[in-house]
Each structure stands twice: as C-alpha cells, then as structure tokens.
Structure 1
Amino acid sequence: MPQVKKAGMREAILAASFDLFCRKGYTATTMSEIARAAGMTVANLYVYFDSKLLIFYEIYTPWLQEKVQTLRESVEKFPTPRLRLKRIIVGLWGDIPAADYSFANSLIEALASAPKDTQKPNNLLEQCEIIVTEMILDSLPPERAHLASNRLLSHVLWMAHDGFAINCRIGDTRDLEAIATLMTDLLLGPEDAEDTAPRARKKPARSRKPVVQQAVS
C-alpha cells in the first residue's frame, strides 16, 4: 500500500533543505543530512522527492520568483530610464546573488553536478527572462527597444548573474556601481555625452606668406 504523504513532512523537508543549502551549499548537502534534519529516514524522504535536485528546485523556484518580483517593484520607483536600468543591473548581479548567504550559488552547483543531459525540472529561467525583458523595455526609450525585444539581452544578463553568484559566494565582487554605470552607458549612451566626448584639437592657423608681385615688364 502506498504511503500517505503529509503536508507537514513535506514542509519540514523544504525547511531543512533550505537551511542546509544556504549554510553548506548544494553539493556538500546530502540526502541523509536532509532526512536527519527533517526528522525522518532517507527511505521516507524519497517518498516525497525522487532526487536532491527536485528538492532544490521546489525551494529555489519560489525564492527566485519572489526576488525578481521585489526587484521589479523597486525598479518601478525610479524616475528615469538610466536609474531604472542601473537598478536592474545591481539587482541581478548584486542583490540576488548576495541574498540568503549566496543561495543563488547553489543553483550553479546543482546544475554543474547534474548528470549530462539532465532536464531542468521547470522553465524558471525562461520565466525570469520574460520578466526582466519587460523591465528593460519599460526602461528603454523607444528608439532603443530593439536591444531587448528578442530576450537575448535578458538571457545574457542571467548568464552573467551566474558568474556574479559564484564570485559573491567567495567574496570576489568588484565595483558593482561602476559596472552598472558601464552597462547603462552601453544601452543608453554615456550620460552628458557631449561634455565627455573628446574634442578635436584646433589646428594652429597657418601663417600666410606675403604674396610677391612680379614686376610687369
């Protein structure tokens, strides 16, 4: 007879896993540790989840969705395209990678250690790319909208997010404000471009040689 799944046990598994993933990372956390922290046997744990990857995605999916929605609400408060775009970059490459003891880094571990050709449990990346694309399009002037319309820009931002998540975990994050300014300048053009553009040097006027009139014979 199949075992009856209890909602309380499922929540205990997710709570224990989140704590372990945050503190130890995905790779170092074992199913045995999760079962022990949740107060059950490993065999009982597999009744609820077939793999550690499924447990992780069950936690990570709502976690990331909440972070992205919080970022979206934050971006909407900024009055200018430049400030909104900078907020998007700082959020994707700074705030989310640093949240909950660099929990985002566990996703990198989970996918990097998965067997080749493992299918992702859901389309979370695509969902997040759509939301970030909408944020960018809301921030770009119409003549720049083509930069984000095909979602490739959002995809690149998320791929870079993975790198920032890794570096955040090991404490090797560079000047994010300067990076955000650089990215915003690439999308909008430099602020005060006319003032910052190099000016052509004025060539010195050539001295005119006196015209010598030839005597008319």
Structure 2
Amino acid sequence: MAQIKKDDRRAAILSASYQLFMKHGYHRTTLRQIAETAGVSLANVYIYFPSKYQIVFELYDPWMAARLEQLMSEASAISDKRQRLRHIVLTLWRDIPAAQNGFARNIMQALSTQSVDDGYDPTMIAWIEKQITDLIAGCLPSRRRPLLEDGRIGHVMMMAFDGFVINQGLNPNAACTEDIADSLCAFLLGRPADQRPGIKVRTIKTAGRSQIAKVNLPRRP
C-alpha cells in the first residue's frame, strides 16, 4: 500500500508540473508552485526529482515519443513518397512545435540553462534522429539514400525543429509553411516532373473530362 501512495504522489507532481508548464512556461514555474499544486511538500518534490530540469525531461520524453510514433503510423499509410515526405516535414516542423500550446518550448527553455556537466542524456534525441532518418529513407529512391548514411540529415532536421519550436513563442509568423516543406522535398527528391525545365503542363478535355497533359518543349539552343 505504501508503494501505491508513493506512485500516486509522483504522478501528482508530474501532473501539476505539466499544468504549470503549459500555463506559465518552464522558466516561470517554480518547484514551490509545483509542490503546492500537487498537494505535497517541497521536500517531497525533491525526493522524487532532484531538479525542475529532471521533471520537464520526465514529461517531454514520452510526449515527444508519442508524437513520433503517431507520425510513423501516419506516414506508413501514405503511398505517394513525395506526399509522405511532405507530411513528415510539416508534422515535424509545423504541427509538433505548435502542439498543446507549444509544449515543446518548455524543453528548449530547460536546455538553454544547462551545460554538459549537468548530466544531459542524449539517448532520446539520438532515438528521434534515427526515426526521422528512417522515415526519410523510406521516401527516397535508392540512388539518393546515400545522403542519409551518416545521419546528418536527421540531425539537421532536429536542429531545424528546435528553431521552429523557439519561434512559436518569439515569432509565430516564422512557422514552417507548405512552401518550406515543398522546397525540402525538392532538395531531397528533385522537383516534380511537371515543374522541371522543358516540361509544360496544360489541361485538355477528353469525353467531357479534364485531364492533365505533359508536353516536352524543345530545348533552347
């Protein structure tokens, strides 16, 4: 029975922390506020979590993992590889940064005050970067997959994610747009056939139905 009470107390601390981080942000939330909201003493908070930094990571890791797993499920259902890649980019750079009132900003605020000596654990970010790399690999033709071999694309994707998360609070107008997603898709996959030089697209009608026709234009001398 004592163990159940301890588990409930820990859950209450995490629940209170989540509510306060959502409302005030990481920097403006204190451990004393967390204790009062959870209905426990400040000393009890320290028994379960040595710092506010540890609390936010305890909340963020499963939060982010759930969103990555949802993205993987959604991506697997999109057969068109360009549309799948576009969905991945928009979810990672636009939707997740904005999710739940920009909850991911809390982790950026927490990290901004930490150093290597504070015990930062890179396990979660390494897992995320691998998932992103694997998702992108599934969208690319085999000849372009060597671009992903060193994992740098996944790393760059997450560095950009951090920037879009921060901009949610500083400059919402700098959110990821569909044009940005399309530009990255063009970089990784090449431009769609109907946007390449020498290709003209026109609409024709056949038996009362509109169809798209691609016409090769003569190359200029």
The TM-score range, normalised by the shorter chain, is 0.7 to 0.9
Q: Could you tell me how far 1:76 is from its partner in structure 2?
A: 1.1
Q: Which residue of 1 aligns with 2:140?
A: 140
Code of the residue aligned with 2:142 in structure 1: it is P
Tell which deviates more after alignment, 116-125 or 47-56. Answer: 116-125
Higher strand share: 2
Cα separation, partners in 2 of 1:122 and 1:144, compared to 1, 3 Å: closer
Deviations 1:175-197 (A, max 9, x none): 5110000000000111122427x
What is the distance in 1 between the residues matched to 2:158 and 2:62?
Answer: 17
Offset of 1:39 from its aligned partner? 0.5
User: What is the CA-CA distance between 1:133 and the residue it aligns to?
Assistant: 1.0
Higher relative contact order (CA 8 A, sep 6+): 1
SS at match of 1:172: helix
Cα drift, residue 58 of structure 1: 0.7
Residues 111-151 of structure 1 show CA distances to partners (whole Å, capped at 9, x for unaligned) of 00124632214511001011111111111110110111221
Partner of 1:21: 21
- 176-185 or 146-155: which moved more? 146-155
| Equivalent residue, structure 1, for 2:186 | 185
CA distance in 1, matches of 2:175, 2:113: 27
| 1:79 Cα offset (Å) | 1.4
Alignment of structure 1 residues 146-185 onto 2, 5 Å: 146-170=146-170, 171-174=172-175, 176-185=177-186
- 2:58 alignment counterpart: 58
Whole-Å Cα distance in 1 between the matches of residues 148 and 96 of structure 2?
21
Counting aligned pairs with the same residue, the percent is 35
SS of match in other structure, 1:58: helix
Indicate conservation of the 8 Å contact 1:54/1:121, yes or no: no
* 8 Å CA contact 1:98, 1:169 repeated in 2: no
What is the CA–CA distance in structure 1 between the aligned matches of 2:103 and 2:175, rounded to whole Å? 19
The equivalent of 1:209 in structure 2 is none
CA–CA separation in structure 2 for the residues paired with 1:139 and 1:184: 10
Match of 2:211 in 1: none
Given residue 192 of structure 2, which amino acid in structure 1 is its aligned partner? E
**CA–CA distance in structure 2, aligned partners of residues 29 and 174 of structure 1:** 26
> Rg larger in 1 or in 2?
1
The equivalent of 1:81 in structure 2 is 81
Q: Distance in 2 between matches of 1:199 and 1:178?
A: 29
When the two chains are superposed, the root-mean-square deviation of aligned CA atoms in Å is: 2.2
Q: C-alpha distance in 1, partners of 2:14/2:47?
A: 14
1:68-147 mapped onto 2 (5 Å cutoff): 68-115=68-115, 117-121=117-121, 123-147=123-147
Letter in 2 for 1:44: N
C-alpha distance in 1 between matches for 2:218 and 2:149: 34
Contact 2:90/2:176 (8 A) holds in 1: no
Q: TM-score under structure 1 normalisation?
A: 0.85
The farther-off stretch of 87-96 and 165-174 is 165-174
How many residue pairs get aligned? The number is 200
> Which 5+ residue runs of structure 2 have no aligned equivalent?
201-216
Q: Give, in whole Å, the separation in 1 of the partners of 2:160 and 2:176.
A: 15
Structure 1 stretches of 5 or more lacking a match?
A: 203-217
